[in-house]
Amino acid sequence: MSIVFFGTPEFAVPSLRALIEAEEDITLVVTQPDRPKGRGHKPYPSPIKTAALEAGLRVMQPTSLRDGAILKKIADAKPEFIIVVAYGRVLPCLMLEIPHHGCINLHASLLPKYRGAAPIAWAIINGDRQTGVTTMLMDEGLDTGPILLQREIEINDDDTAGSLSLKLAELGASLLIETLEGMRGGLIKPTPQKGTASYAPPLKKEDGLIDWSKRAIEIFNLVRGMQPWPGAYCYLGNERIKILKTKPLGNIGVQYGRPGMIVKARDELIIGTGRGLLSIVELQPSGKNPMSASAFLQGRKIAEGSYIGDTV
């Protein structure tokens, strides 16, 4: 029996490729419509569309999943499973009833923790030391269905949302194949989610604005969680500066370097926070390439003791 695959971003590509390598019968790939990108606003295909077409798979890009014609096309495929990996839209109830053995979702968290759109980023922002991937049977709720399998992974201090996403995508792809094998062999029993649920809402650009009254470690986590999008940022005078990499310098109290104070601006850029100092390792001024803090400081007269947001 066949599989219908729903997915859109790069995170979903390893799962699609794993299914192809496992010689699964993927009769249809459903992904988001091409989106305008870049200065010319030229429509670009999703990573899943590109991967699917390269593999010679049939692709559909509906603007709505509630269209009766779309439901009929998917039903006509008579899928054994519908597999959803970061598709970006909620499947309507009628679609959940189509596959013979149900809809399987691969989610990038250890459910019920971080239900929602941005689980990888929020796990880093909140300072978690572990995360993982979950396969579940989909129901009408938002990531509320019974769990099939889970796998954990450590979050390292040098992980960003981008680098952790790559790791979880590969881990999730292997878990997905294991899930299909277990479901077909009757070895997996769906288990209701247990514990306190938390949510990971979509990131907005304004979420990246640094609040220097927070602890140095919290800002360090924010910067990593906001990479590669939307990016953490602050203002120096009227200049918007994207902060790409930082290093906490210990739990020095608020009296040593007040929140937002530029403590050092020679060779290295050190800022005071609500607790501890934070070294800015790499940054990107508006309209320029990423650079080290030392390169940024060359030719600039930034007064130590002034504050982020002050005029240079």
DSSP string, 83-102: EEES-SSPPPHHHHTSSTT-
Q: In the structure, what pLDDT confidence band is assigned to residue 310 with cuts at 50, 70 and 90?
A: low
β-sheet with 26-30: strand ranges across = 59-60, 26-30, 2-7, 79-85, 103-107, 130-137, 147-154
The pLDDT tens digits of the residues spanning 165-205 come to 999 999 999 999 999 999 999 999 999 999 999 999 999 99
Q: How far apart are CA 102 and CA 99, in angstroms?
A: 5
Closest alpha carbon to 85 in 29, 138, 11: 11
First to last CA, the chain: 66
Query: What integer is the mean pLDDT of 71-98?
Result: 96
The distance of Cα 308 from the centroid of its chain, to the nearest Å, equals 29
Dist CA 276 CA 211 (whole Å): 14
pLDDT of residue 40: 76
- Output the pLDDT for position 238: 87
CB hemisphere CA count around 268 (13 angstroms)? 12
Q: Where are the beta strands (DSSP E) in the chain?
A: 2-7, 26-30, 35-37, 42-44, 59-60, 79-85, 103-107, 130-137, 147-154, 232-236, 239-248, 262-266, 268-272, 277-285, 291-292
pLDDT, tens only, 1-53: 799 999 999 999 999 999 999 999 999 999 999 999 877 788 999 999 999 99
The one-letter code for the residue type at 41 is H
Q: How confident is the model at residue 309 (pLDDT cuts 50, 70, 90)?
A: confident
- Count how many Cα atoms sit within 13 Å of the Cα of residue 139 in the half-sphere of its side chain: 10
For the stretch 204-254, pLDDT in tens is 999 999 999 999 999 999 999 999 999 999 999 889 999 999 999 965 544
Burial of 283 (C-beta count, 10 Å sphere; 0-12/13-18/19+): buried
Mean pLDDT, all residues of the chain: 94
Confidence at residue 254, expressed as pLDDT on a 0 to 100 scale: 43
Cα–Cα distance for residue pair 287/289, rounded to 1 Å? 7
Q: How confident is the model at residue 256 (pLDDT cuts 50, 70, 90)?
A: low
The pLDDT value recorded for residue 299 is 81
Write out the E strands in 109-161: 130-137, 147-154
Cα–Cα distance measured from residue 47 to residue 11, given in angstroms and rounded to the nearest whole number = 9
- Taking alpha carbons only, the member of 231, 237, 236 closest to residue 290 is 231
pLDDT of residue 251: 54
Angle formed at CA 293 by CA 291 and CA 296, multiple of 5 degrees = 70
106-139 in b/e form (b: 16+ CB < 10 A) is bbbbbbbbbbbbbbbbbbbbeebeebbbbbbbbe
